[in-house]
Amino acid sequence: MAVFTSVTREALARWLEGYALGELCGFEGIASGIENSNFFVTTTSGRFVLTLFERLAFEELPFYLSLMHHLAQRGVPCPDPVADRRGEVLGRLEGKPAALFTRLPGQAVEAPAASHCAQVGALLARMHRAAADYSGVAPHPRGLPNPRGLPWCRHAAASVAAFLDAEQAALLHDELAEQEAFAASPRHAALPAGPVHADLFRDNVLFEAGPDGSPRIGGVIDFYFAGVDTWLFDLAVAVNDWCIDQASGAFDAPRLAALLEAYRTARPPNEAEVAAWPMMLRAGALRFWLSRLFDLHLPRPAELVTPKDPAHFERILRARRRGVPALA
């Protein structure tokens, strides 16, 4: 759990006076996330989620908030920003940019089955289609680029280099060089792109019981690594978490087949995407190996924070470099 900025009940109650949501009944820190401070908030009119943004600048946040609203208006089950009495969805609390969101039903699934993965694949394709006509918001009318894309990877690689052994350093240098070359190629330019979630891990999808008792998606959360990138990168990030054996990083064939078939049914990949699939899987693994290295060795102070093991994505990257199943 991470709570970088503490909030008192008195300060929150005063802040909520700006909303037509009744009286504050209670609040508590949310036991997940490593980027922002998140709290469950209950008022006399309902249950919400409060986010205090720790890294994103105030002027960057309209892109994320308007993207979530855009998706929610098109039926994607994601947090919808709640407007205050002035019609604003972004304010300040304890000196940080802050926003209140609708709270979604369900819980994350730690050990997904093929049936869970199929729903995730269908949801991701639905999100890509729904975001295709998103035009951004000032001052970013064309959207923000992926904040953890290659420019960030270059910076992170230089920052963590001193903490790597010789074999890890060689792996990082080689993979980064190959990803740079691919990103500059016509093959990459041919890939469809748009706003993507870019962090669709199993802890960011909530499942609830449907009318027949079987699990169904209640919502997708945590859009704060979203940005404009290729849809294929977003798909690669998802399968690298949902469809693997946790110990080895190798793909679990039934779960992978279920997720990809559901995605392909809703949005068939083109020939360029089929050809680029191996490199995108490696790009997704590289991005999260670097972020976990960065969070482990160069952490920010927080009230409660548990860094994740970077060796997990090092194993996944090595596995993807050895070969991957075809996309089509």
What does the pLDDT average to over 98-125? 97
Average pLDDT rounded to a whole number, residues 189-215? 96
**Number of H-type helices and E-type strands within the chain:** 10, 10
Residue 198 has pLDDT above 70, yes or no: yes
What is the pLDDT averaged over residues 216-223? Answer: 97
Would you say residue 217 has pLDDT above 60? yes
b or e along 293-324 (b: 16 or more beta carbons within 10 Å of the residue's beta carbon)? bbbeeeeeeeeeeeeeebebbbbbbbbbbeeb
Average pLDDT of span 175-184: 98
Domain boundaries, the chain: 9-102, 107-322
Report residue 35's pLDDT band, with 50, 70 and 90 as the boundaries. Answer: confident
Q: Output the pTM of the full model.
A: 0.94
| Burial (Cβ within 10 Å: 0-12, 13-18, ≥19) of residue 93 | buried
- Region 40-68: mean pLDDT is 95
| Among the listed residues 94, 88, 103, the one whose alpha carbon sits nearest the alpha carbon of residue 10 | 94
Distance CA 282, CA 153 (A): 13
Q: Decide if 231 contacts 196 (C-beta within 8 A).
A: yes
**Distance between CA atoms of 81 and 87, rounded to whole angstroms?**
11
* Whether the predicted pLDDT of 32 surpasses 80: no
| Ordered DSSP codes for 210-245 | -TTS-EEEEEE---TT-EEEEHHHHHHHHHHHHTB-
DSSP 163: G
Helix (H) / strand (E) element for 284: namely: helix 271-297
Element (H, E) at 65: helix 61-73
Q: State mean pLDDT over 111-123.
A: 98
Structure tokens at 271: 């020939």
Distance CA 328, CA 321 (A): 19
Count CB-CB contacts under 10 A for residue 18.
13
**Domain 107-322 is classified in which CATH homologous superfamily?**
Aminoglycoside phosphotransferase (APH), C-terminal lobe (3.90.1200.10)
Cα angle for residues 176, 182, 187 (degrees, 5° grid): 165
Is there a contact between 89 and 99 (Cβ–Cβ < 8 Å)?
yes
Q: How confident is the model at residue 135 (pLDDT cuts 50, 70, 90)?
A: confident
CATH architecture of residue range(s) 9-102: 2-Layer Sandwich (3.30)
Query: Quick one: pLDDT at residue 142?
Result: 66
Quick one: average pLDDT of 242-259? Answer: 96
Q: Say which residue, 142 or 58, is predicted with more confidence.
A: 58
Residue 9 in this model has a pLDDT that exceeds 80: yes
Return the pLDDT at 4. 84
- Label residue 14 by pLDDT band (50, 70, 90): very high
Average pLDDT in the chain = 94
Top mean-pLDDT range of 4-8, 134-138, 258-262, 297-301: 258-262
Confidence at residue 1, expressed as pLDDT on a 0 to 100 scale: 44
**Confidence check: pLDDT of 2 > 80:** no
Residue 117 has pLDDT above 50, yes or no: yes
The rounded distance, in Å, linking the Cα atoms of 229 and 237 is 12
Q: What is the mean pLDDT of residues 191-201?
A: 97
Q: What share of the chain is helix, strand, coil (3-state, %, to 5)?
A: 45, 15, 40
Rounded CA separation 287/322 (Å):
18
> For position 245, what pLDDT does the model report?
94
- Contact yes or no for 82/30 (Cβ under 8 A): no
